[in-house]
Amino acid sequence: MRAALLLILLTLAGCAEGHPRDNALRITFSGGGLCSATAVGPHLILSAEHCFKGDRLVTINGEPAYALRLVKDGNDHVLVRVSKRFKSWARIGSNPEPGTHVQMWGNALGLSFAYREAYVSVYKDEDILYAGSDTAPGDSGSGLFAPDGSVVGVVTGTKSVVFKNGSAFTLLWTMRLKFSADQLRDIR
């Protein structure tokens, strides 16, 4: 009985039902741009701020949609209230610890929902670097999902790390999510 009540309360509070892939989104813009995002509320998406500079949002997963309000955290992340309603959405989790396994479904090079895995590799100041996965244009804004299904990061770019003897690795890169409690409350 307690478990059933808890499940009902979590569902009403906005926790995702089903698989994180169900909350991954493909978003397009009036100038032809393509990015990725994650549904994090019934009318709310989380993405990379740089995706929303210039052109206006025109579709989410191929259906017409538009942005109603944007809230930025100053770390190239944006919460966007949109005209579209989602059936399920992910919970925004806390910043991940090194070693955390994450999954993402992005739209690299125009592919639809290409799956990749990575691990939180290192923290450097405000940067979080993820090892074990490549990224490409179209992945910007992809949610990075922790094992519990919460979204704990957003793809904002890549960093090339060069080691001795010319070895180079390209890593997913993001910065810590820094939305305040007031921003999260006001945008919902």
Enter the pTM of the model.
0.83
Residue type, 16: A
Within 61-136, strands assigned E span: 63-64, 67-72, 77-82, 101-106, 114-124, 127-131
- CATH numbers and ranges of domains, the chain: 2-89 (2.40.10.10), 101-175 (2.40.10.10)
Report pLDDT digits (tens) over 49-101: 999 988 899 999 999 999 999 999 998 999 999 999 999 999 999 888 888 89
Residue 48 buriedness (CB in 10 A; 0-12 / 13-18 / 19+): buried
Q: Which residues contact 185 (CB under 8 A, 6 or more apart)?
A: none
